[in-house]
Amino acid sequence: GQCAAVCPTGALVERDYSWDVIEALADPDKVVVVQTAPAVRAALGEEFGYEPGTLVTGKMAAALRVLGFDHVFDTDFAADLTIMEEASEFLDRLTRHLQGDTSVRLPILTSCCPAWVKFFEHQYPDMLDVPSTAKSPQQMFGAIAKSYFAEQLDIPREKMVVVSVMPCLAKKYEAGRDEFSVDGNRDVDISITTRELAHMIRRANIDFRALPDEDFDRPLGESTGAAVIFGATGGVIEAAVRSAAEWATGKPLESVDFTALRGLEGCRSAKVPVGDLTLHIGIAHGLGNARKLLDSIRSGEVEPFHAIEIMACPGGCIGGGGQPYHHGHMEIIKKRMEAIYREDAGKPIRKSHENPYIKKLYEEYLGKPLGEKSHHLLHTHYFKRHRI
């Protein structure tokens, strides 16, 4: 209705879709695939009495299996894919800019937060060519599941139901955007929140705390530390810098920890040396902070940035509207953030371009980042909307 048209975060249209998931799981003709966003594993445990900051990745995978999903996959896989495309796009724009091409727009803006995307479509129609055209991980996952993976299973896309578990209310709206479907069949059929998943687990009488730790399935369940940090403010841009820096210099990074990009300040900037170049990076979380940053760029009052990450929620997705309630306690957000960086630090692979299943996906199916097939499946465009 009217609210759906004007509310950038989707908070006014919170709808529980868990019954639709249960219906899909009960349908013997459907193959039901689930993906879970990076921030979910850092907060779901709070619904089952764990201390904030407890990672429940393994128990979550086990619970999803008990609930009956046919393939338990991870949005993190698609976050690695997002980095492949977004970091390539960034390097491409940066190289052309350094060569004096004045048609290139910098800074590149991240585009994986749908509330932020809707915000700039309404508020900054003159800047629609500035954000990265890379789809969000949720939507990249859906597009790949219903093409590459459906082909592997030898089933038509209509037979597959893609469910996403998100920290977010705006992801429900994103999944329903017209450009993310093929002949009326959506890439992501149903998006539920962390809280809705917790309700489903309770309704199914699953003793969450007693579950064993299990792994995600392959191939769309394998991910790197770079993907995990998507859940926290500053994480997307840090993940992009890890790949872009190695590609630009041709040398392995001495350290993948770009700690200057981390933190909880609402609006921050950092200088990151990459070879002979110093990247100037901006980060904002909360749409008020985003507006401040964008207005200062528009008016030219700040030193130009090369790249900016914007997330609508405080702390990034770990503080999202679909997460267990944190009642504004930043202490809880901080604990979830620490959990995310802990998971990253413990991963054997911490750079998206080194994910072996991502490499395989490009070799077998996509070709190369920004190639024709990637362009078709993994990139999108933005629309001018009425100001609100």
Which residues are known to be catalytic?
86, 89, 112, 132, 171, 174, 179, 317
Closer to ligand SF4 by CB, 11 or 204: give it. 11
Q: Phi then psi for 137, rounded to 5 degrees?
A: -55, -40
Bridge partners (DSSP) of residue 308 are 109, 282
Contact pattern for ligand SF4 over residues 29 through 48, marking x by CB under 6 A? --------------------
- Is 320 a binder of ligand SF4 (CB under 6 A)? yes
Closer to ligand SF4 by CB, 62 or 317: give it. 317
Tokens of 70: 């046919």
How many residues interact with ligand SF4 (rule CB under 6 A)? Answer: 14
Say if residues 167 and 137 touch (Cβ distance below 8 Å). no
| Binding window for ligand SF4 (CB under 6 A); candidates: 152-160, 167-175, 193-201, 266-274 | 167-175
- Is 115 a binder of ligand SF4 (CB under 6 A)? yes
CA dihedral 182, 183, 188, 192 (to 10 degrees): 160
| Binding window for ligand SF4 (CB under 6 A); candidates: 107-115, 325-333, 350-358, 359-367 | 107-115
Closer to ligand SF4 by CB, 193 or 355: give it. 193
- Is 168 a binder of ligand SF4 (CB under 6 A)? yes
- By CB under 6 A, name the one of 94, 311, 339, 366 that touches ligand SF4: 311
Query: Going along the chain, which residue ranges are E strands?
Result: 31-36, 71-74, 108-109, 160-166, 181-182, 185-186, 190-193, 267-274, 277-285, 307-311
| Secondary structure element (H or E) that encloses residue 139, with its range | helix 137-144
According to DSSP, the β-strands at 277-285 and 71-74 are unpaired
- By CB under 6 A, name the one of 60, 113, 134, 293 that touches ligand SF4: 113
Closer to ligand SF4 by CB, 171 or 336: give it. 171
Closer to ligand SF4 by CB, 64 or 113: give it. 113
- By CB under 6 A, name the one of 312, 339, 358, 366 that touches ligand SF4: 312
Report the C-alpha gap between 51 and 275 in whole angstroms: 42
Say if residues 18 and 199 touch (Cβ distance below 8 Å). yes
Between the alpha carbon of residue 158 and those of residues 183, 186, 189, 341, 356, the distances in Å are 10, 9, 10, 37, 28
First and final CA of the chain: distance in angstroms? Answer: 15
- Is 313 a binder of ligand SF4 (CB under 6 A)? yes
Residues in the chain: 388
Tokens of 225: 């530390």
Q: Tell me the closest approach of the beta carbon of residue 180 to ligand SF4, in angstroms.
A: 15
- Is 221 a binder of ligand SF4 (CB under 6 A)? no
| Binding window for ligand SF4 (CB under 6 A); candidates: 61-69, 93-101, 165-173, 266-274 | 165-173
Say if residues 60 and 40 touch (Cβ distance below 8 Å). yes
Q: Tell me the closest approach of the beta carbon of residue 178 to ligand SF4, in angstroms.
A: 19
- Is 134 a binder of ligand SF4 (CB under 6 A)? no
CA dihedral 100, 105, 108, 111 (to 10 degrees): -150
- Is 117 a binder of ligand SF4 (CB under 6 A)? no
Closer to ligand SF4 by CB, 224 or 233: give it. 233
| Secondary structure element (H or E) that encloses residue 133, with its range | none
Q: Tell me the closest approach of the beta carbon of residue 314 to ligand SF4, in angstroms.
A: 9
Angle among Cα 148, 131, 142 to the nearest 5 degrees reads 20
Angle among Cα 235, 236, 242 to the nearest 5 degrees reads 85
- Is 256 a binder of ligand SF4 (CB under 6 A)? no
Neighbours of 178 (CB within 10 A): 8
- Is 316 a binder of ligand SF4 (CB under 6 A)? yes
- By CB under 6 A, name the one of 317, 333, 377, 378 that touches ligand SF4: 317
- Is 286 a binder of ligand SF4 (CB under 6 A)? no
- Is 192 a binder of ligand SF4 (CB under 6 A)? no
Q: Report the interface residues with ligand SF4, using CB under 6 A.
A: 9, 113-115, 167-168, 170-171, 311-313, 316-317, 320
